[in-house]
Amino acid sequence: SQTIHQWPATLVQPVGSPLSLECTVEGTSNPNLYWYRQAAGRGLQLLFYSVGIGQISSEVPQNLSASRPQDRQFILSSKKLLLSDSGFYLCAWSPKTGIMGNTIYFGEGSWLTVV
């Protein structure tokens, strides 16, 4: 079966420091990969998505970047964190084909607090 893991689960970082959140998917190949952010409150905002290695689409201009160095690995980064980067970050994946194609499955999430 397929599983998705992201880490770290919790992170407290000072303003201006770098960020690296990692996510890996197991049990599948060539998935679509996503990074979402959920600020205090409720809505989920799509940050980046990737349909293949090295292919990254950005949904909103911001202080963050994403990379996909391997088929099942997705990394969210920042060179210098801002206070506004605080939030709950969710990595997700979806199969491209099959009976559950386009269904998105989420990781456990990472809490980021920028202080």
Interface with other proteins in residues 78-97 (CB under 8 A): 88, 90, 92, 94, 96
Q: Which of 35, 30, 21 minimizes the C-alpha distance to 72?
A: 30
Among the listed ranges 22-30, 60-68, 76-84, 102-110, the one in contact with other proteins (CB under 8 A) is 102-110
If one counts every other C-beta atom within 10 angstroms of the C-beta of residue 92, the result is: 23
What is the total count of residues that contact other proteins (CB under 8 A)? Answer: 27
Whether the Cβ atoms of residue 80 and residue 14 lie closer than 8 Å to each other: no
Least separation in angstroms between residue 49's CB and other proteins is: 4
Q: Give the Cα separation of 61 and 32 in Å (integer).
A: 21
The binding site for other proteins (CB under 8 A) comprises: 32, 34, 38, 42-44, 46, 49-51, 57, 59, 88, 90, 92, 94, 96, 100-109
